[in-house]
Amino acid sequence: MKKDFIAISDFSSEELMSILELAIDLKKQWHDGGNPPLLKGKVLGMIFQKPSLRTRVSFDMAMRHLGGDALYLSPNEIGLGQRESIADVARVLSGYVQVLMARVFSHDHILELARWSSIPVINGLSDYNHPCQAMADALTIIERLGKMKDINVVFIGDGNNVAVSMMHICAKLGANFTHSGPDGYQIDASALALGRTIAAGTNTKIRQIFNPQEAVRDADVIYTDTWTSMGQEVESEKRAKVFPPYQVNTELLKLAKPSAIVLHCLPAHRGQEITDEVADGEQSALFQQAHNRLHAQKAILVNLFQQANS
C-alpha cells in the first residue's frame, strides 16, 4: 500500500527511529565501499518549484548510490497547478516513475500530489514544513551527541517550516524544544498545538521564549536558519530590522552547554543569522548536517519501497 513522506507528525516515534537506524547503516555501508543496489530499476521524479543545491543533489545521488536513477523536472517544464492541473501531473507521472519528490511553495500542492498519485510522494520542502531536513538534523544530533532523548534543542530566529519539522521530530524522539524569535514571527499556531500534543505523549517540553539569551541556557543544540525564506523577499528589509538580536554568534553560544553543537540547514547568510566564527567553529555541525541529507534521504526512499512491498 502506498505510503508517503509528507510530515514528521505522520510517523510514530518507532517508525522514525527505524528510518534513522537504516540511515546509519546505509551511511556506514557507503563509507565501507558502497551501498547495495536496493533501488535498481527505480526512478525518482523530482519536481522543483524552488531551486535547491542540497535537495536536488542529495536526492539525485541517493538514487545513484542505491542503483536507481533520478529525473529533474524544472518549474518551466511542469508549471505545477498552472500549465497543467496538479491532479493530472500526479496521474501522468505515476505511470512514468516509481516515486515522486516535490519542493514547492504551497503545502497544499504536496497534499494534492499525494492525493492523486498512485506512487509514494516525498515532501522535499513546503511553506509548512521540511521533514527530510529534520531527518538529517536528527541523524546529525545522534551522531554528535549519541542520542535525541532528553536533550535540549533551541531554534533561534523565524518560526518557519524548518522549525516546525524540527519541533515535531524533537517531540517524537524525546527531546525538549525551544523556539526563540521576535514577536510576530512565532511558529504557526496549529503546528505548535500539534507539537505539544505529541510532546505530551513523550513527556517532553515545547517552549517559546522571546529572549534568546535565556532560551539557549542549558542548550545541547542551537539551530538557526535564514531570516527571510524564499517567497518572502518583499519582507527582507522589514525582517532585517527585527532579527539582529537573534544572531547566533560567539557570545550567544557561550551561554549554552560547552558541548553544544550548532546547526543550520543552509544556505547561510553569514553575518546575519550566523557569524563566520560560529559557522566555521569547532561546535559547528553545518556540513556534517548537509552531508547527512544524502543518507537520511536514502533511508526514506528505501523505507518507502519496503512499505510498498510489505
- Are residues 297 and 56 in contact, defined by beta-carbon separation less than 8 angstroms? no
pLDDT tens-digit readout, 78-106: 877 678 899 999 999 999 999 999 999 99
Residue 210 has pLDDT above 90, yes or no: yes
pLDDT averaged over the chain?
95
Question: What pLDDT score was predicted for residue 268?
Answer: 97
Residue 2: the pLDDT is 59
> 133-289 has which CATH code?
3.40.50.1370
Residue 308 has pLDDT above 90, yes or no: no
- pLDDT the model gives residue 51: 84
pLDDT at 82: 75
Active centre residues (catalytic): 103, 130, 133, 225, 265, 293
| Alpha-carbon span 234 to 65, nearest angstrom | 40
CATH 3.40.50.1370 segments of the chain = 8-130+293-309, 133-289
CB 106 within 8 A of CB 129: no
- The CATH number of 8-130+293-309, from 3.40.50.1370, 1.20.1070.10, 1.10.150.120, 3.40.190.10, is 3.40.50.1370
Over residues 208-235, mean pLDDT: 91
pLDDT digits (tens, 9 = 90+) for 1-22: 458 999 999 999 999 999 999 9
For residue 76, count other CB atoms closer than 10 A to its CB: 7
Q: Using alpha carbons only, give the angle 281, 275, 128 rounded to the nearest 5 degrees.
A: 105
pLDDT for the residue numbered 84: 87
Q: Summarize pLDDT for 237-273 with one digit per residue, the tens.
A: 899 999 999 999 999 999 999 999 999 999 999 999 9
Task: Report, as an integer, the average pLDDT of 124-140.
Answer: 98
Which strands make up the sheet holding 43-48, listed edge to edge? Answer: 69-73, 43-48, 99-103, 121-125
Q: Report the C-alpha gap between 67 and 79 in whole angstroms.
A: 29
